[in-house]
Amino acid sequence: MNGLEHALTELGRELAVPAAPDLVPAVLARIESQPAARPRTQRRRWVLVVAVALLAMLAATLAIPDARSALFRVLHIGGERIELVDELPEVAPDPAGTSLESALGQRVTLAHARQEAGFDLRELEASPDRVYLDARGTVWFLYGTPQSVRLLVAQTPRLGIDDDLILKKLAASGTSIEEVFVDGFPGIYLSGEPHLLLLLDELGNVVEESVRLAENVLVWEANGVAYRLEGNFTSHEALALAETLR
């Protein structure tokens, strides 16, 4: 969702949209006025009636600003749930990086991560400074230090579970959300003001020590694995970096 879409969403809350007309009685009346039709034609007309009814229901929903806005306030991709909120809650700073390191899981060697991952890890040309493995099976590559992160690369096996959430994000109006493609797979790029990041455990509960503000992020899913890049980069730089994963 770009800035224009954000603006249109906000405008939708303010507009007084008239109620959608009830089209079903008019359609039924017109059908009843026609000569008797064959069974196949009748079935086709009933399908038309149902379709018109569904469209009328959708139009009525979109006529309500809050309901219409809600359609654009939640996004799902790569095991992440992105919620658009009016204001972010306050988060205590973590200059020592202890919360981040604790949230990433157990620090392991790269060789151990490759062995335990259960899928082929994709790596950048440069080796990470630190590698972590969490309880969800996510492998984290950290470039830099927990106190000064240059880049975070996360890879999580999805196992084909569409509603299995890994992360939850809260993004306010200062965060831009852009739809992108990574090697032909749909993705989301978040930039602008930092957004709130919350890691979820196996039961879907928030890992309290994981709550932090995140920088620009590129998220996508390919071949059963969710990928996530976080760093101070533009969308073009993030996409170029993603394409170097091998």
**pLDDT bucket at 240, cuts 50 / 70 / 90:** very high
Domain-terminating residue out of 44, 70, 96: 70
C-beta neighbour count of 13 within 10 angstroms: 10
Domain total in the chain? 2
Do 89 and 186 have their domain in common? yes
Domain-terminating residue out of 13, 46, 70: 70
Tens of pLDDT, residues 121-147: 999 999 999 999 998 899 999 999 999
Domain-terminating residue out of 70, 90, 119: 70
Whether the predicted pLDDT of 8 surpasses 80: no
Domain extent at residue 32:
3-70
Tens of pLDDT, residues 177-215: 999 999 999 999 999 999 999 888 878 888 887 888 899
Do 133 and 151 have their domain in common? yes
Do 124 and 212 have their domain in common? yes
Do 82 and 185 have their domain in common? yes
Do 29 and 137 have their domain in common? no
Q: Which among 93-102, 201-210, 222-231 has the top mean pLDDT? A: 222-231
